[in-house]
Amino acid sequence: MDSRFLLEVYNKQAKMIYFYLRKNGCSHEDAEDIVQESYTKYIAYSSGVPSDKALSYIFTISMNEFKKTLKKKGKEQIISINELHFWSNFSNDEDTEESVLHNEMNEEISLVLNQVKEVYRQLLVLKYELELSYKEIALLLGMKEETVRTYLYRARKDFQEKWRNTNG
């Protein structure tokens, strides 16, 4: 195993995985532990994994560790949306009424996100909350870029349909 390659992958991608875990409701400590555990497992079992699939392998390990942590603690997965970031383009000076409406909208978005398929939810959060490019998402999930585009299209359509049904 090339240690420089592993260090490069870690430096570039560990923060991305960490922030994704945090967006999905993982605590700071658990997210750090999961990222570290994922890289440790990758080092231990990486002999059969091609280097171009390293990131998707580590991401998969991270998601599995996160699910185990949730199950162990008896918690539900909660999508966390950065309300300030999400609404910053719509309004500069907020009053109390707008603030309350924004909080309600944030809750509604989270509820609808939790209704879509897990893979769609992952893609929507990676694209629109973490603002990753199609290429970065493809690398992270081990998919072709065109597959990511197609799945994101379907994810947007599914989200829109569920949004209309909920808020119709």
Per residue in 88-127, pLDDT (tens digit) is 544 444 555 565 566 667 778 888 888 899 889 889 888 8
Question: Three-state DSSP class for 101?
Answer: helix
Q: Could you give the CA distance from residue 20 to residue 125 in angstroms, rounded to a whole number?
A: 8
The percentage of the chain sitting over the pLDDT mark of 90, rounded to a whole number, equals 14
Mean pLDDT, rounded, of the chain: 79
- The verdict on pTM exceeding 0.75 is no
